[in-house]
Amino acid sequence: MQSRIFDSQVFNMACRQFDAAAEILDLPMDDRDRTKFPKRCIAVTMPVRMDDGRVEVFEAYRVQHHLSKGPTKGGTRFHPSVTVGEVAALAMWMSWKCALVGLPYGGAKGGVAVDPRQLSLAEKERVSRRYMQELVPFVGPNIDVMAPDMGTDPQTMAWMMDTYSNIVGCSTPAVVTGKPIDIGGSEGRLESTGRGVAYLIKRYLESHGLRPHQATVNIQGFGNVGSHAALGLLGYGCRITGISDISGAIFNPGGIDVHEALRHVEANGTLEGYMEGDRLTNDELLLQKCTVLVPAALERVITVKVARKLKCRFLAEAANGPTTVSADAVLDERGDIEVIPDVLCNSGGVICSYFEWVQDLQSLFWEHDEVLRKLFDILDKARHSVETQKERLGISRRNAALTLGIERVARAKALRGIFP
Ligand SMILES: NC(=O)C1=CN([C@@H]2O[C@H](COP(=O)(O)OP(=O)(O)OC[C@H]3O[C@@H](n4cnc5c(N)ncnc54)[C@H](O)[C@@H]3O)[C@@H](O)[C@H]2O)C=CC1
Ligand SMILES: O=C(O)CCC(=O)C(=O)O
């Protein structure tokens, strides 16, 4: 089957990854399209009253990739480049990620084509509430559970949860995760994606005979994931030599003062004007020598051209889909860079979201230490299964992670059969 709905570079990339994994698995032809293509796609246009009185209409989507292992789960992105194809690719990756780490979910993703930096707080609240209002018939604690992604945060989740709860008539915290702790959020969720990225990097450094304090790290994207990865790695003793955001990059081979940089971003919104080290472009930062390079912003930033020139020992994919399929082939051919693939590397966020959902459903809440201990346990198990699969089949780490996730989804579908 050829999709006419989702056709786009990023969706085609997710499909090519799937096709390669399906070949390795020798997945029966009858199971392939059924496992690959998203089950449902909701596209809406949302009128929103702006502060100046105008009504602006935004396009928004929610794609629910598969329904065979439980409710669907995944973040909601506010970004000007959001398209239905991008959202569908992100939903596919959520499916493989959840299956890889053993969560009882199908994948989903949502997005609004809007630049959140151009919205006032009140406008952002109206966009968030309107988005949830449009999606109420299609989501719920046992149907589809949203979470934050680029451009959204705990406050956005609070507005969405409140909107859903008001419409259905009872407080329903389990309809979204990544909420503030005061209204049913989980300890540890805010930092969980970045902490998980940092933890896996530490484990991979150690398994390659390196100690964290010997490692230098450059991070593209200094939002939720990038900044918490930086703090986690700093805590392990790594030296953060480069950080960047939409305004450009800061590079300091002596080590960046991450806390000071964070204070600057909290006060000013971006790294612009932060006076430390050298200013580089985002592209230049990717090519600086370091032990670990962490893309933590957009998809498809590691292109063939970049892959050929990378000077890192590890590529830790905190972002979803940062490496194109052709760039991946270059990295395979080079063989000198250890890739920690996105579906494993950034899985800490959805693992902690699962903990939040479980706690909300039971109204029984866990301590911070317990959350992190459980998170690291799951990451260790997933890492171990990926390494075993990689060795057993003699394939790349990405294909190892994808085949594990895809096989579990395909098996669930085969077991459930076709209704009617
Ligand atoms: N928030 C979460 O729990 C999870 C997020 N992710 C992925 O991590 C990545 C980052 O997400 P968040 O940190 O949540 O988003 P965020 O909105 O908190 O931060 C995004 C960062 O990327 C920067 N950025 C945006 N456009 C850029 C560009 N063109 N060049 C360089 N930097 C740019 C922004 O300035 C900001 O620093 C995304 O790929 C997301 O899908 C993955 C798993 C979970
Ligand atoms: O926490 C979640 O439910 C989803 C996080 C997410 O969007 C992702 O892993 O890409």
- Distance between CA atoms of residues 234 and 238, nearest Å: 5
73 in a labelled binding site: yes
Q: How far is CA 278 from CA 244, 256, 269, 286, 309, in A?
A: 11, 11, 20, 14, 20
Q: What value does the mean pLDDT of the chain take?
A: 98
- Distance between CA atoms of residues 201 and 197, nearest Å: 6
Please identify, by atom number, the ligand 2 atom nearest to the C-alpha of residue 149: 7
Q: How far is CA 334 from CA 138, 201, 264, 276, 328, in A?
A: 45, 20, 38, 34, 10
Give me the percent of the chain exceeding a pLDDT of 90: 99
The 8-class DSSP code of residue 184 comes to T
Q: Candidates 124, 150, 179: which one to mutate for ligand 1, based on the most atoms within 8 Å of Cβ?
A: 150
What ranges do the domains of the chain cover?
9-185, 190-345
Residue closest via CA to ligand 2's atom 4 equals: 74
Q: Are strands 144-148 and 239-245 parallel, antiparallel or unpaired?
A: unpaired
The dihedral of CA 349, 96, 58, 318: what is its sign?
positive
The token pair at 236 is 């392990």
Pocket of ligand 1 (CB under 6 A): 75, 148-151, 193, 220-226, 244-246, 282, 296-298, 318-320, 346, 349
Helix axes 84-100, 368-393, angle to 10 degrees: 90
289 in a labelled binding site: no
Query: Which residues pair with residue 49 across a beta bridge?
Result: 55
What is the residue type of 105? Y
pLDDT bucket at 1, cuts 50 / 70 / 90: confident
Same fold, 9-185 and 190-345: yes
How many other β-carbons are positioned within 10 Å of the β-carbon of residue 415?
8
C-beta of residue 260 within 8 angstroms of C-beta of residue 189: no
Q: Candidates 10, 61, 73: which one to mutate for ligand 2, based on the most atoms within 8 Å of Cβ?
A: 73
How far from each other are the two terminal CA atoms of the chain, in whole angstroms? 21
- Which one of the ligands is nearest to 192 CA? 1
In this model, does residue 41 exceed pLDDT 90? yes
pLDDT at 291: 98
pLDDT bucket at 302, cuts 50 / 70 / 90: very high
Question: Quick one: average pLDDT of 12-22?
Answer: 98
Q: Are strands 216-220 and 290-295 parallel, antiparallel or unpaired?
A: parallel
Tell me, rounded to whole angstroms, the distance of Cα 119 from its chain centroid: 23
Please identify, by atom number, the ligand 2 atom nearest to the C-alpha of residue 352: 1
281 in a labelled binding site: no
In this model, does residue 420 exceed pLDDT 90? no
pLDDT at 400: 98
C-beta of residue 124 within 8 angstroms of C-beta of residue 156: yes
Question: Quick one: average pLDDT of 242-260?
Answer: 98
CATH 3.40.50.2000 for domain 190-345: no
In this model, does residue 92 exceed pLDDT 90? yes
How many other β-carbons are positioned within 10 Å of the β-carbon of residue 269?
12
Token pair 């989980």 is found at 186
- Report, as residue numbers or ranges, the catalytic residues: 109
C-beta of residue 107 within 8 angstroms of C-beta of residue 95: yes
- The CATH code of the domain at 9-185 is 3.40.50.10860
299 alpha carbon – ligand 1 mean position (Å):
10
Give me the percent of the chain exceeding a pLDDT of 70: 100
In this model, does residue 2 exceed pLDDT 90? no
- Distance between CA atoms of residues 130 and 136, nearest Å: 10
345-372 pLDDT, tens digit each: 999 999 999 999 999 999 999 999 999 9
pLDDT at 187: 98
252-283 pLDDT, tens digit each: 999 999 999 999 999 999 999 999 999 999 99
